[in-house]
Structure 1
Amino acid sequence: MSKTLKCISPIDGSVFAERPVASPAEAAASVARARAAQKAWAGRPLEERIALVQAGVRQLNSMSDEVVPELAHMMGRPVRYGGEFGGVNERADYMAKIAARALAPMVVEESETFERRIEREPQGVVLVIAPWNYPYLTAINTIVPALIAGNAVVLKHATQTLLVGERIVRAFAESGFPDDLFINLFLDHEGTEALIAAGSFNFINFTGSVGGGRAIERAAAGTFTGLGLELGGKDPGYVMEDANLDWAVDVLMDGALYNAGQCCCGIERIYVTDTLYDAFVEKAAAWARKLKLGNPLVQETTLGPMANARFASEVRAQTAEAIAAGATPLVDPTLFPEDDGGTYLMPQVLVNVTHDMRVMRDESFGPVVGIMRVRDDEEAIALMNDCEFGLTASLWTSDPVRAARIGARIETGTVMMNRADYLDPALCWTGCKNTGRGGALSEIGYHNLTRPKSYHLRKRSA
């Protein structure tokens, strides 16, 4: 009997969608067809590949009326936010624009005697394992440049957002994409690891947990498959004395609580200089209290349920442990009667927190944020670096020289000034420490999805 994947809706606990798991033979055959289709695709002119990929993205946009409520049903994001199309289009457009430059040969010599150059060859078959929190955005980060660069793509989505991969592939197929080149597979963990261990792919991009990243590394051991891993995060914000207070509160709190805090580069801990601390805390708590927790299909809802009751349980546990250890919660639970002890979880702001508490150390990935008072830059830098993760850091000051100086000392993948929870497609999306390895988007993203091939052509014998 075949296994079945089931998406349990966080709205009401019902089964929203289910699909049969591909058997090992079915999965292997699908990947083989993708590999066969890749050769002809790589031989097509770059301009044609770009045009077809852009057509696929446009067709996906035309499905927004279906996609937005579907996302709400699968992972709980309120429909008022309109899905992920803004970011999808920004990233797809930018990667299409820079493709010719990023993939252009590096010419070392072009003379009567020698022709020496380095070209970019597609990896071959790229596996994209996408998460549930931003299932379109995270997938597009790799899908678009991988296909433009001449690769075939195999897409596997998290069970929580079961229908996303199917929908993206359907959009590309409806726009005239070649058969078998871009496929979606419904796989369980065992099936995915078996394909990886068999050396079925030339490159794998995974966004998910540290544990998931380790499982992929173990499965790929000895296959020499290239890996790009974006794993956990515990991103900090640091508010300095010359920051625009209202701007900092608005952006950092949105970065902490948007999408029920389920953001890869969401703000999970905030450090505020002594002179602004009291005012910041007061405004931050007021910001959180104004959120409307409820059914994500209702237009007035600004905070939907967490994707899974298990995720909400972890956030509740971290919060309760912190309060028991002396942290002070600033949001009254009576303001959020919709908090049902399951997927619907109220926002919380904690003060009197320390790095001895898990809520300031472990990834929370939910609508809770701790705020600490700091004396100076040195203390803030030490606290920001006191973490096993390193994805982004958000610095708030009117002095870009100071921000750059502090940023150089932070162990992170991206330093932002007066901005948070944002991915710039022109910059490499990367991390350090337990956040993972590799880099997506930008020209570097293209380099990771291709391999260098050198040509040393001697034209004359003497």
Structure 2
Amino acid sequence: MPIATVDPATGETLKTFDPMGPEEVERRLAAAHAAFRRHRVTDFAERARLLHRAADLLDEDRDDIARTMTTEMGKPLAAARAEAAKCAKAMHWYADRAEALLADERPAQSDVQDSGGRQVRVVYRPLGVVLAVMPWNFPLWQVVRFAAPALMAGNTGLLKHASNVPQTALYLEDLFRRAGYPEGCFQTLLIGSGAVEAVLRDRRVAAATLTGSEPAGRSVAAIAGDEIKKTVLELGGSDPFVVMPSADLERAARTAVTARVQNNGQSCIAAKRFIVHTDVYDAFAARFAELMAALTVGNPMDASTDVGPLATEQGRADLEELVDDALEHGAVALCGGKRPVALAHGWYYEPTVLAGVTPRMRIHHEEAFGPVATLYRVRDVDEALDVANDSPFGLSSNVWTRDEEEQHRFVRDMEAGGVFFNGMTASHPAFPFGGVKRSGYGRELSEHGIREFCNITTVWYGAV
């Protein structure tokens, strides 16, 4: 795949970049390793000063970088601005809290004495150079939620971003440079996917984090495992959105639309499978399809647009294959199901609701990365959980019920990294984020995320 900015609203290639050669990659690896030796011994006050400055610059740049993101991957401009603001907020959050999150821990003195020791501390030390392999769908947020905690912990970062968002990738390197970070602390590698293995195997790279597809995760995990290097993986998702009889159906239907088409439907934590109790199925399905059909599809730079184009031509083709397969096997499109006739240029697809989905259909098991929702009718909590958990993925989940006993069941039995009641799944710097099964392992954000790339060290003092 070429490293290029291709406007998904028109299909026009706007700018291309030459991949970095081996000599430039080596120079950057050496700089990252040298920077780590210096950055690891800086105090939290200095690290916080730099990260606060980066956040302030990002706020100043918000409109410009939002237009870049929209041009490169097609998200509505308002959503791009919101993403930039969220990134700045997360930077400030970690700058203010990292010292406390990584403070030394002291086990109970009775346990210390039982060990024969006088004093014990658990300390968090940085690992080193962390390679981040990041996707295009949230081209700022995916990077910042790794970079902010990693830098505050004393690590340095190398970013291999998706090849269709090169200008956003270069902006991030420039942002940290302008904030005052020393050379080598955060760098972008403009390389293709085939060059990742050599970087990951380099002895100067201590760990890796990847957000992306299941095949990409398998590849990085296999290489890192062979090298015995720590990894965090956030992969695909096919999140369930369960609606029970006690739900506020109007709120649930409106939230369902937002949850499905956020980021043009290209989000791992977007709700994708809508599992509805039979008592309210007909009313919910009708309202949900009505609201989805009313969305405005068009130019993502236009303020009136609800859903822009998919990021890549191949992505749209993959989505079309899933929908066509479902329709061929008996599913019914309550709305959508095809390309918009009026938008001949660009990679647009209509917001779509499919009913009658069964396990025979690919879309039942595969992630639909675009504005396509699947509907399921269930009889009770047990069947809702069976359908929700009948997926290779387990990233997050949404459940609409006011019944406390039902809530308890979903917390206990839902196979996911998050359960959100009566609202939409969202990430926040204070809460751990990640999944189970083929959605990956490890956690980002919160104290759990900042500790992922730390050497958790036991320090034991014997009697003097």
Matched position secondary structure for 1:283: helix
Residue 312 (structure 1) aligned with residue 310 (structure 2)? no
Gaps spanning 5+ residues in structure 2: where? none
Matched position secondary structure for 2:17: strand
Residues 179-215 of structure 1 deviation map (CA, whole Å, 9 limit, x = unaligned): 2211111111121111112333111110000100111
Residue 168 (structure 1) aligned with residue 169 (structure 2)? no
Residue 421 (structure 1) aligned with residue 425 (structure 2)? yes
Deviation at 1:90, TM superposition (A): 3.5
Residues 81-108 of structure 1 deviation map (CA, whole Å, 9 limit, x = unaligned): 3241232134323333331222011123
Report if the CA contact (8 A) 1:400-1:417 is conserved: no
Report if the CA contact (8 A) 2:339-2:349 is conserved: no
Q: Which of the residues 382, 386, 404 maps onto 1:382?
A: 386
Structure-2 change in CA distance of 1:4 and 1:321 (3 Å): closer
Identity of aligned residues (%): 29
Deviation at 1:4, TM superposition (A): 5.9
Deviation at 1:218, TM superposition (A): 2.6
Deviation at 1:341, TM superposition (A): 8.3
Aligned residue in 2 for 1:95: 94
In structure 1, what residue type is equivalent to 2:9?
I
Q: What value does the CA root-mean-square deviation take over the aligned residues?
A: 2.0
Matched position secondary structure for 2:96: helix
Partners of 1:16 and 1:264 in 2: CA distance: 27
Q: Which of the residues 190, 197, 205 maps onto 1:201?
A: 205
Aligned residue in 2 for 1:24: 22
Structure-2 change in CA distance of 1:452 and 1:308 (3 Å): same
Matched position secondary structure for 1:268: strand
Residue 107 (structure 1) aligned with residue 106 (structure 2)? yes
Aligned residue in 2 for 1:37: 35
Aligned residue in 2 for 1:84: 83
Matched position secondary structure for 2:3: strand
Residue 452 (structure 1) aligned with residue 456 (structure 2)? yes
Report if the CA contact (8 A) 2:8-2:74 is conserved: yes
Partners of 2:50 and 2:10 in 1: CA distance: 39
Structure-2 change in CA distance of 1:286 and 1:38 (3 Å): same
Structure-2 change in CA distance of 1:394 and 1:333 (3 Å): closer
Structure-2 change in CA distance of 1:332 and 1:442 (3 Å): closer
Deviation at 1:355, TM superposition (A): 2.3
**Worse-matched range after superposition: 251-260 or 384-393:** 251-260
Q: Which of the residues 433, 436, 443 maps onto 2:440?
A: 436
Report if the CA contact (8 A) 2:150-2:156 is conserved: yes
Residue 148 (structure 1) aligned with residue 146 (structure 2)? no
In structure 1, what residue type is equivalent to 2:352?
Q
Aligned residue in 1 for 2:227: 223
Report if the CA contact (8 A) 2:106-2:120 is conserved: yes
Report if the CA contact (8 A) 1:268-1:360 is conserved: no
Residues 15-68 of structure 1 deviation map (CA, whole Å, 9 limit, x = unaligned): 123222111222122111111111221211112101211211211221112111
Q: TM-score if structure 1 supplies the norm length?
A: 0.95
Structure-2 change in CA distance of 1:282 and 1:34 (3 Å): same
Residue 286 (structure 1) aligned with residue 290 (structure 2)? yes
Partners of 1:261 and 1:421 in 2: CA distance: 14
Residue 391 (structure 1) aligned with residue 395 (structure 2)? yes
In structure 2, what residue type is equivalent to 1:7?
T
Residues 208-236 of structure 1 deviation map (CA, whole Å, 9 limit, x = unaligned): 00100111123224311100011111111
Matched position secondary structure for 2:397: strand
**Worse-matched range after superposition: 97-106 or 324-333:** 324-333
Partners of 1:195 and 1:120 in 2: CA distance: 25
| Matched positions, count | 458
Matched position secondary structure for 1:270: strand
In structure 2, what residue type is equivalent to 1:443?
E
Structure-2 change in CA distance of 1:332 and 1:212 (3 Å): closer
Residue 10 (structure 1) aligned with residue 14 (structure 2)? no
Matched position secondary structure for 1:330: strand
Residues 264-322 of structure 1 deviation map (CA, whole Å, 9 limit, x = unaligned): 10111101111111110111011111111111122221110000111111111111111
Deviation at 1:459, TM superposition (A): 5.0
Deviation at 1:336, TM superposition (A): 4.0
Aligned residue in 1 for 2:124: 120
**Worse-matched range after superposition: 248-257 or 77-86:** 77-86
Matched position secondary structure for 1:346: coil
Deviation at 1:402, TM superposition (A): 2.3
Partners of 2:39 and 2:329 in 1: CA distance: 59
Q: Which of the residues 362, 375, 380 maps onto 1:371?
A: 375
